[in-house]
C-alpha cells in the first residue's frame, strides 16, 4: 500500500471511531440519563436578592420561593386542610395493616405484626399510664427494640389522648444523673443499667427493666425493688389488636401538642411537636420521584450502631412511619451482627458510613472474585454512572441483595454540642464536621456494587427531626478531586426546611460572595429548646447572627452553596 | 473518545466544579448571582423591569420590593408593567397606570408634594399591601449628579 492509502485508512478509521463515539454519547447516553445535566445543575430554588452578609435563601427545587414549605400531611377536615398528628399516622398504619399484613422486625431478629405492637401499646396504656399519674416517661432504651418501640407508641398515643398532655415521651441518651422533675417513669435496658441509678431509684414512681435475663445482677435488697417491674411482668396478658380509633377534634388542638422530649448526655433537652413529625414524614415521602414511589412492597432496614442506639431514637421515626403508612414493613439490625439473610426482603437500606463499609466488606469477602472480566464490568458500570446512567452491570451476585433499590447514607454533624448550647460563641472552622464521609467516586463504587441508588442525607442529631438535606435520587456525579478533598456534597434542603449561609467574624477566609460561611436553617422539623435560658439564648443567637425571623444558626457548621443549588459541607 | 477511553482505562467522567474551589466556575453562572439588599438609585433600579433582567423590583414611598413572584401583573405585557423597575408611588396613589405617573431614572425622585392627602394615603395603603406580599429588599434614594 502506498503512503496515500495508509493515510486514507488512518483518517477513515479515526473518523469512524470519532463518529461512533459522537453518536454514542450524543444519541444514546443523552437519552439514557436518569436526569439531564441541566436538572442536576439546578437542584434548588433561591431568592433573587440577599442581605449583605448572607447568601440567598435556598430551598428544595420542589418548593418554589413564595410557596409554603412542606407542613404536615395535608389531610382534609371538612372543607379545611389540616396537618395531622401521630394519631392520624398510626390509625392509617393500623387500617392498612389488616390488608397488607406488614411487620416490624426488631434487633432481636423476631418479627412482630403491627396488630401485636398495637395490642401491646394499648395494654401498656392500661397497665401503666392509666394506673400511675405520669407526667413524662423517660426512655433510655432504643426504639430499635420491641420494648422501645411499643413504649414510644404507647406514650405518643396517651399524650395526645390525655387533655393535659400527660404521659409525654422523653428520650434519655444516658441514665439520668440529675433529677428530671417531670419524669415519673423510667424505662431502662437491663439490671446493669439499674445498678447505674445509684440511689436515684426513689426519683421515679415506676422503673421498668426491659431485659431481665441477667438476673445475677438483680439487687438482692427488696427495698430497692419496691417500685421496679420487669417488662415481662407488665406486658403479660397483652394480645393482638388491629383496631385503632381516632376522631380528630375540629379545633385542631391535637396538632399543637408535644410529641416528645429528648435529652442529650450533656443534659440539654429539646422538645418536638406533632408538626415536626408529620412534616418530616411528608418530606421523606416527597423525596421519591415518579415511578419510584414508596409502596407496600417496600421493606426498610435500619442498620443501627450498637454504641449509639438511644442517640438515634429521634431520627428513626419519620422513615419507618412513612414506610408503614404505605403498607410496607420495617426492620432494625445491629451493625455488629448483620447477616446477609436478614437483608433478604430489604428494598430501602438505612446505614451510616461505617456500617456500609462493613457490609460491603462482608460481601466482598464472601464473593472473593477479582477476574479481569469483573474489573471491566466494574469500570463500565462506574463510567456509566458518572455519565448519569444507573445500571446493574457489576451488581454483586448476592441473592439477598436483589431487592434493594435505594441506600440512605446517614451523615451526622459532629459538632452538635456547639449547635445545642446556643451559647453565642462562634468557633473557627475545624476539620471533621461530618462523621465518616465518602468521596463521590466511592459513592459510585457502592452504587455499582449494590446496583441501586444511594442518597446521602445530612443529620443534626438532637435538634432537627429527619435530615437537613439529601442528595437527589438520580445524582451520580463525580466531582473533581479538589472538590472531594475539601467538601462533601449533601444535596439540597429537604422540602420542610429552607437554608441560608451567613458570614462570621471568626472565619474571614470564607467569602460570602462565594456563598461560603455558616449554615442557618428555618422550617417545620426543628425542635425547640426546653429550658427558658436555652430558649432565650437561642432567640438571641438567632437575632444576632441569622437576622431572627425563625432562623436557627447551626453553630460551627461551615459550608457553601454550589452553583448547582446543593449544600457542600467542609471536610 | 472519552467514554470508551474511560471504560478502557478505568476512569470516569468528572462533572463541572459547582463549588468554585478549583477556580473553574462556569461563566454563565456568574450573571445569575442574587442582588444584595440595600440602597437602590432610580438608575440601578430601572434594570430590574422584568425585561432587561428577569427580576422585577418596584419602589413605593422610598422602599423597594421584590415583585418577581408577581410577574403576571408587573412583568412585560402585564397590566402594571409600567411600574416595573420604577417608583410606582404616584401611579398607585392616583390609581393610574399612565406613563405620566412614573418618572424616568434620570429625573428627580417624585416627592408627591403636589398630590392630595387622599392620594398619599392610598399610596401608603398600597405600600402596606406590598410589604405583606413581597419582600422588602432596600430603599430608593437619589443619586448625586443624576437625580439632584
pLDDT averaged per 10 residues, chain A (length 571): 85 87 80 87 90 92 89 84 92 90 87 94 92 91 93 94 90 88 90 86 90 77 81 90 88 86 90 95 93 92 84 91 94 83 90 90 76 83 90 85 93 86 86 86 92 94 94 93 93 95 92 93 94 90 89 93 94 90
The C-alpha cell 450533656 sits at A266
| pLDDT value, residue A316 | 93
The C-alpha cell 441508588 sits at A453
DSSP H or E segment with residue A50: strand A49-50
| pLDDT value, residue A370 | 66
| pLDDT value, residue A202 | 86
A374 Cβ contact partners less than 8 Å away, ≥ 6 residues apart: A394
Which residue in the set B6, B7, B55 is minimally distant from A48, CB to CB? B55
A463 Cβ contact partners less than 8 Å away, ≥ 6 residues apart: A270, A416, A419, A420, A526, A527, A552
Which residue in the set B3, B7, B18 is minimally distant from A29, CB to CB? B3
Q: How many helices (H) and strands (E) does chain B have?
A: 6, 5
CA dihedral for B118, B120, B124, B127, sign (positive or negative): positive
| pLDDT value, residue B35 | 86
| pLDDT value, residue A570 | 93
Grid cell for residue A118 = 398495637
Contact B12 A385 (CB under 8 A): yes
CATH number 3.40.50.12780 is the correct assignment for the domain at A112-273: yes
Residues of B in contact with A476 (CB under 8 A): none
Domains and CATH numbers, chain B: 35-140 (3.10.120.10)
Q: What rounded mean pLDDT belongs to chain B? A: 87
DSSP H or E segment with residue A112: strand A111-113
Domain ranges for chain A: 112-273
Contact B38 A478 (CB under 8 A): no
- Reported in sequence order, the residue ranges of A212-282 that DSSP labels E, i.e. its strands, are 228-230, 258-263, 269-273
Q: To the nearest 10°, report the CA torsion of A508, A511, A513, A516.
A: -120
Contact A21 B4 (CB under 8 A): yes
Q: By CA distance, what is A54's nearest residue in B?
A: B36
| pLDDT value, residue A481 | 92
Decide if pLDDT at B27 tops 50: no
Q: How many CB pairs under 8 A join A and B?
A: 108
- Provide the H-helix boundaries in A125-230: 146-161, 191-195
Q: What are phi and psi of A154, to 5 degrees?
A: -60, -45
Contact B38 A52 (CB under 8 A): yes
| pLDDT value, residue A98 | 86
User: Which neighbouring-strand residues pair with A411?
Assistant: A458
Residues of A in contact with B25 (CB under 8 A): 563
Contact B37 A50 (CB under 8 A): yes
Decide if pLDDT at B47 tops 60: yes
Which residue in the set B12, B17, B135 is minimally distant from A383, CB to CB? B12
What whole-number distance in Å separates Cα of residue A141 and Cα of residue A231?
Answer: 12
| pLDDT value, residue A496 | 95
Which residue in the set A21, A478, A480 is minimally distant from B3, CB to CB? A21
What whole-number distance in Å separates Cα of residue A74 and Cα of residue A18?
Answer: 54
Say whether residue A376 is in contact with chain B using an 8 A CB cutoff. Answer: yes
Decide if pLDDT at B12 tops 50: yes
- Provide the H-helix boundaries in A263-371: 274-286, 313-325, 353-366
DSSP H or E segment with residue A552: strand A552-561
| pLDDT value, residue A138 | 93
Are B22 and B16 in contact, with CB atoms under 8 Å apart? no
Q: What is the pLDDT of residues B104-137, one digit of tens each?
A: 889 999 989 899 999 999 999 999 999 999 888 9
What whole-number distance in Å separates Cα of residue B84 and Cα of residue B33?
Answer: 20
Amino acid at each position: 500500500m502506498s503512503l496515500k492509502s495508509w493515510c486514507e485508512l488512518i483518517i477513515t478509521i479515526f473518523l469512524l471511531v470519532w463518529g461512533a463515539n459522537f453518536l454514542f454519547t450524543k444519541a444514546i447516553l443523552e437519552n439514557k440519563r436518569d436526569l439531564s445535566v441541566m436538572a442536576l445543575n439546578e437542584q434548588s430554588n433561591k431568592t433573587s436578592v440577599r442581605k449583605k452578609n448572607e447568601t440567598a435563601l435556598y430551598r428544595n427545587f420542589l418548593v418554589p420561593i413564595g410557596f409554603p414549605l412542606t407542613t404536615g400531611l395535608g389531610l382534609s377536615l371538612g372543607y379545611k386542610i389540616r396537618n395531622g398528628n401521630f394519631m392520624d399516622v398510626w390509625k392509617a398504619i393500623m387500617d392498612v395493616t389488616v390488608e397488607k399484613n406488614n411487620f416490624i422486625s426488631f434487633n432481636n431478629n423476631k418479627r412482630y405484626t403491627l396488630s401485636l405492637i398495637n395490642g401491646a401499646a394499648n395494654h401498656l396504656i392500661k397497665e401503666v399510664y392509666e394506673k400511675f399519674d405520669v407526667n413524662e416517661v423517660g426512655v433510655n432504651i432504643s426504639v430499635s427494640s420491641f420494648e422501645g418501640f411499643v413504649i414510644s407508641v404507647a406514650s405518643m398515643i396517651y399524650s395526645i389522648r390525655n387533655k393535659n398532655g400527660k404521659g409525654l415521651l422523653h428520650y434519655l441518651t444516658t441514665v439520668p444523673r440529675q433529677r428530671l422533675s417531670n419524669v415519673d417513669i423510667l424505662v431502662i435496658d437491663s439490671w446493669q443499667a439499674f445498678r447505674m441509678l445509684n440511689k436515684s431509684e426513689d426519683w421515679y414512681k415506676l422503673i421498668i427493666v426491659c431485659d431481665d435475663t441477667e438476673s445475677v445482677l438483680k439487687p438482692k435488697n427488696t427495698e430497692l425493688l419496691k417500685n421496679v417491674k420487669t417488662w415481662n411482668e407488665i406486658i403479660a396478658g397483652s394480645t393482638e389488636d388491629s383496631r385503632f380509633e381516632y376522631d380528630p377534634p375540629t379545633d385542631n388542638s391535637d396538632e399543637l401538642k408535644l410529641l416528645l422530649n429528648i435529652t442529650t448526655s450533656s443534659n440539654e433537652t429539646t422538645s418536638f411537636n406533632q408538626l415536626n413529625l408529620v412534616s418530616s414524614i411528608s418530606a421523606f415521602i416527597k423525596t421519591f420521584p415518579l415511578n419510584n414511589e414508596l409502596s407496600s412492597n417496600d421493606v426498610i432496614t435500619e442498620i443501627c450502631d450498637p454504641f449509639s442506639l438511644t442517640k438515634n431514637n429521634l431520627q428513626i421515626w419519620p422513615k419507618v412511619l412513612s414506610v408503614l403508612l404505605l403498607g410496607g414493613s420495617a426492620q432494625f439490625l445491629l451493625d455488629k451482627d448483620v447477616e446477609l439473610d436478614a437483608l433478604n426482603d430489604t428494598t430501602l437500606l438505612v446505614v451510616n458510613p461505617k456500617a456500609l463499609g462493613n457490609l460491603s466488606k462482608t460481601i466482598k469477602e464472601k464473593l472473593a472474585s477479582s477476574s479481569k472480566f469483573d474489573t471491566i464490568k466494574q469500570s463500565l458500570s462506574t463510567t456509566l454512572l458518572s455519565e448519569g446512567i444507573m445500571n446493574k452491570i457489576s451488581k454483586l451476585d448476592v441473592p439477598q441483595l436483589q431487592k434493594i433499590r435505594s441506600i440512605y447514607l446517614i451523615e451526622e454533624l459532629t459538632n452538635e454540642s456547639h449547635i445545642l448550647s446556643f451559647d453565642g460563641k462562634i468557633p473557627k472552622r475545624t476539620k471533621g464536621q461530618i462523621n465518616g464521609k465518602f468521596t463521590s467516586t466511592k459513592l459510585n463504587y457502592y452504587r455499582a456494587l449494590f446496583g441501586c441508588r444511594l442518597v446521602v442525607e445530612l443529620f443534626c442529631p438532637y435538634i432537627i427531626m429527619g435530615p437537613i438535606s439529601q442528595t437527589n435520587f438520580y445524582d451520580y456525579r463525580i466531582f473533581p478531586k479538589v472538590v472531594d478533598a475539601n467538601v462533601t456534597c449533601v444535596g439540597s434542603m429537604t422540602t420542610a426546611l429552607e437554608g441560608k449561609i451567613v458570614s462570621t467574624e471568626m472565619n474571614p477566609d470564607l467569602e460570602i460572595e462565594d456563598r461560603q460561611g455558616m449554615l442557618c436553617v428555618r422550617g417545620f422539623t426543628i425542635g425547640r429548646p426546653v429550658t427558658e435560658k436555652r430558649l432565650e439564648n437561642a432567640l438571641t443567637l438567632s437575632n444576632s447572627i441569622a437576622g431572627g425571623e425563625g432562623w436557627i444558626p447551626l453553630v460551627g457548621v461551615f459550608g457553601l452553596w454550589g452553583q448547582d443549588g446543593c449544600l457542600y459541607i467542609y471536610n | 473518545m472519552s467514554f470508551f477511553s474511560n471504560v478502557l482505562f478505568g476512569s470516569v467522567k468528572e462533572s463541572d466544579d459547582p463549588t468554585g474551589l478549583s477556580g473553574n466556575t462556569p461563566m454563565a453562572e456568574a450573571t445569575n448571582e442574587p442582588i444584595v439588599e440595600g440602597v437602590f438609585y432610580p438608575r440601578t433600579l430601572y434594570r430590574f423591569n422584568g425585561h432587561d433582567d428577569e427580576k422585577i423590583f418596584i419602589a413605593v414611598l422610598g422602599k423597594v420590593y421584590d415583585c418577581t413572584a408577581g410577574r403576571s401583573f408587573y412583568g412585560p405585557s402585564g397590566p402594571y408593567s409600567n411600574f416595573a423597575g420604577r417608583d410606582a408611588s404616584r401611579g398607585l396613589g392616583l390609581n393610574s397606570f399612565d406613563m405620566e405617573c412614573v418618572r424616568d431614572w434620570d429625573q428627580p425622585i417624585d416627592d408627591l408634594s403636589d398630590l392630595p392627602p387622599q392620594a398619599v394615603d392610598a399610596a401608603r395603603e398600597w405600600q402596606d399591601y406590598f410589604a405583606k406580599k413581597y419582600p422588602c429588599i432596600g430603599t430608593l434614594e437619589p443619586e448625586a449628579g443624576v437625580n439632584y
